Amino acid sequence: MKNLASAASTLTVAVLILDGVATGALAAPRLPQDLRAARIPFTAATVTANDDGSFTVSWKAPGVKRVAVKAVGRTVARGDGAATVTVRGLPAADRRWFSLVPDHGGSLHLADRLVRLSGTVNFRDAGGYRTKNGKWVRMGKVYRTDALNKLTTADQAKLKRLGIELAYDLRTGFERALGRDKLPSGIRLVIADVSGGGSGYTLPTSEQAAEQMMIDGERAMVASDSGRAAYTSVFDGLAGTGSHAVLFHCTAGKDRTGWAAAALLTALGVPRATIMRDYLASNDYRAAANASTLDALPPFLAKVYKPLLDVRPAYLNAGFDQVKETFGTFPAYEKDGLGLTAAELKHLKAALLVG
């Protein structure tokens, strides 16, 4: 266990050294009870905000003949049971929400997953995913992000408009001292140090050692006492989610934050393949920041440290492997590792799932 905790501490500092120095939002609409309870026929759906101000909306809804896409109080596009449409000419907004209304069944309410802030690159909605039993994770309720120490005044105002009232900082005391969160008043900050605040570390000397460090760090998030305590704290807040929204973050928003998101989506019943895609998306959102960091290093060091900036399937899989080794099953991890009671898990699903 000490080795795993040490690996987590080493990982924290190494990523900080390489990455930490380089790095009207509207809340989701409240839905009528009848729409929340209706079966949602969509098997896939996404909204993507484009650089030119337009939006690409895609969906698949087998058995549906007509879908109306609504925004700003009107229908802005139409399609059949499987379509991709581009919506232009909408007024500027912090975050543009769309309702996908099928000719039968429940509607979906979606926005682009990425929330654009000047002080972050990996601030995104944890929702908008379909579960194994056909429900959908609500958007606008849980957010995952990289460090919040560079938020501008405008960024802080956006956080307020997102309806966030609770934020979990998964970083070490060393990281927090270097860059404290700049949160607006009204958002309660909870420290949930996944790594346990260790200070000793040894940087890797090879690409293979760096990758192993990431794998060991991922395992420590699951098995170490500090990891279990931190994520128990996070899930305490998530289980209490009501009308407000919650966020959790670390430095890059990809490892400690990535496991929090993966554990949440697993608990909600999202398929592992979908969870992996969400996890790996940090490579896309962080591409420019990571490239800038690596470009500033000598080529031999860039090769060694690139695994520290990446997210890779082997990393997340190591976390799930550790769940199996330590707890046997994921439900056992929910109970014994995250402290979730059956009542809390039921409430979590009721608050975050629709359909």
Q: What is the pLDDT of residues 264-303, one digit of tens each?
A: 999 999 999 999 999 999 999 999 999 999 999 999 999 9
Residue 27's pLDDT is what? 54
Rounded to whole angstroms, the Cα distance separating 264 from 241 reads 13
Rounded to whole angstroms, the Cα distance separating 267 from 264 reads 5
Q: Is the pLDDT of residue 67 over 60?
A: yes
Q: Is the pLDDT of residue 329 over 50?
A: yes
Strands (E), 65-206: 67-71, 74-79, 82-87, 97-102, 108-111, 124-125, 136-137, 142-145, 164-169, 188-191
- Torsion region of 302: left, alpha or beta (phi above 0 gives left; psi -120 to 50 gives alpha): alpha
The average pLDDT across 188-204 equals 84
Residue 310's pLDDT is what? 98
State how beta strands 245-249 and 142-145 pair. Answer: parallel
Q: For 8-22, 76-90, 91-105, which range has the lowest pLDDT when averaged over its residues?
A: 8-22
The average pLDDT across 194-216 equals 87
Residue 4's pLDDT is what? 46
Residue 17's pLDDT is what? 38
The average pLDDT across 84-96 equals 96
Sorting pLDDT into bands at 50, 70 and 90, what band is 197?
confident
Q: Is the pLDDT of residue 74 over 90?
A: yes
Q: What is the crossing angle of helices 299-309 and 2-15, to 10°?
A: 120
Q: What is the CATH number of domain 2-25+116-354?
A: 3.90.190.10
Residue 75, helix vs strand vs coil: strand
Residue 3's pLDDT is what? 46
Residue 272 bears catalytic tag: no
Sorting pLDDT into bands at 50, 70 and 90, what band is 180?
very high
The average pLDDT across 154-166 equals 95
Cβ atoms of 196 and 6 closer than 8 Å:
no
Rounded to whole angstroms, the Cα distance separating 221 from 338 reads 11
The average pLDDT across 251-256 equals 98
Question: Residue 296 phi/psi, 5° resolution?
Answer: -85, -5
User: CA-based angle 98:101:107, to the nearest 5?
Assistant: 85
Residue 290, helix vs strand vs coil: helix
Percent share of the chain, pLDDT over 70: 88
Q: Return the sign of the alpha-carbon dihedral for residues 277, 113, 158, 353.
A: negative
Average pLDDT value over all residues in the chain: 90
| CA distances for 285 relative to 65, 141, 199, 218, angstroms | 35, 20, 29, 20
**Where do the domains of the chain lie?**
2-25+116-354, 30-114
Q: Which of 52, 55, 145, 50 is nearest to 97 (CA)?
A: 55
Sorting pLDDT into bands at 50, 70 and 90, what band is 198?
low
- CATH of 30-114 among 3.30.450, 3.30.70, 2.60.40, 2.30.29: 2.60.40
Q: Which residue shows structure tokens 């496991």?
A: 259
Q: Which residues pair with 98 in a beta bridge?
A: 110
Residue 203's pLDDT is what? 85
Q: Which of 227, 170, 172 is nearest to 5 (CA)?
A: 227
| CA distances for 62 relative to 65, 83, 109, angstroms | 8, 11, 18
Largest CA distance in the chain: 61
Rounded to whole angstroms, the Cα distance separating 144 from 2 reads 28
Residue 29's pLDDT is what? 52
Amino acid at 121: V
Per-residue model confidence as pLDDT tens digits over 219-247: 999 999 999 999 999 999 998 777 789 99
Per-residue model confidence as pLDDT tens digits over 13-45: 444 434 433 333 345 555 444 444 579 999 999
The number of residues in the chain equals: 355
Catalytic one of 25, 64, 234, 250: 250
Residue 38's pLDDT is what? 74
Q: Enter the pTM of the model.
A: 0.90
